[in-house]
Amino acid sequence: MREGIREMLRKAGATVIGFASVADGLSEDIRHLSFAISIGVNGNLRESNLDHLKKLQKKTALFLRGKGYRFFCIPPDSDRINDSFASKLYPLFTHKIAATCAGIGWIGRNGLLISPTYGPRLSLATVLTDARFKTDLPIENCLCGDCMLCVDHCPSKAITGETWSRNAPYPDMIKADKCRSHKEKSRPVNGKPNCGLCINICPYGRGYIEIKSEVMEETQ
């Protein structure tokens, strides 16, 4: 079944797919859905990727339903949705933590999921299920190594340089208030606050996206 889901999602345009056992990270009321399918598409969570991820989740859900399994789709943008079960769940169990469990990447010093191939340039969604899979090997530690590029170049000094590991999953990596205030002051893109230098500067996966050189010049 795992390979059936993988093949279906690949054909539908998923960039990465991983399978994880996540019972330890779930609250009591959904712990019966103890396996996660982590799905990533290349690029940021702009509208087209959001819609694409939701379609991929729907395909996965239909596949699981057809086999008689239960499932719960955590929306890709659940951190932005208020007053829903998923948004309450999200702070406890984020898509990026699911992706680390599924071996897709690690949490980098910039606080984002870093894939060895795509860097911090994946948008993620998660489907929880009671189907049981052979799981992928989780990534347990930050693999940024000696790199400090995002720390050194963050224009607001919001990135502390702390590193993530499974044993310390929420270190004080990003001073969110500093980041937010810098983005508000920066030149808006499409009318929205903008920076993104900690994505653009990351050496992992740089071949997979056009580097926004004007943003880098502006903020360095």
Is 71 a binder of ligand SF4 (CB under 6 A)?
Answer: no
Task: State the minimum distance, in angstroms, from the CB of residue 118 to ligand SF4.
Answer: 12
Nearer to ligand SF4 by Cβ, of 41 and 158: the residue is: 158
Buried b (16+ CB within 10 A) or exposed e, 4-25: ebbebbeeeebbbbbbbbbeeb
Question: Which of 39, 45, 202, 215: binder of ligand SF4 (CB under 6 A)?
Answer: 202
Token digits of residue 46? 């702009």
Contact 34, 14 (CB under 8 A): no
Task: State the minimum distance, in angstroms, from the CB of residue 105 to ligand SF4.
Answer: 10
Mark the segment that binds ligand SF4 (CB under 6 A) among 67-75, 87-95, 125-133, 140-148.
Answer: 140-148
Q: How far apart, in whole angstroms, are the C-alpha atoms of residue 96 and residue 112?
A: 7
Nearer to ligand SF4 by Cβ, of 18 and 111: the residue is: 111
Total residues at interface with ligand SF4 (CB under 6 A): 25
Mark the segment that binds ligand SF4 (CB under 6 A) among 69-77, 90-98, 122-130, 201-209.
Answer: 201-209
Task: State the minimum distance, in angstroms, from the CB of residue 47 to ligand SF4.
Answer: 20
Using CB under 6 A as the binding rule, the residues of this chain from 158 to 187 that contact ligand SF4 are: 158-159, 174, 179, 182
Nearer to ligand SF4 by Cβ, of 103 and 196: the residue is: 196
Question: Which of 34, 57, 78, 110: binder of ligand SF4 (CB under 6 A)?
Answer: 110
Is 34 a binder of ligand SF4 (CB under 6 A)?
Answer: no
Mark the segment that binds ligand SF4 (CB under 6 A) among 50-58, 83-91, 107-115, 129-137.
Answer: 107-115
The footprint of ligand SF4 (CB under 6 A) covers: 108-110, 114, 144, 147-150, 154-156, 158-159, 174, 179, 182, 195-198, 201-204
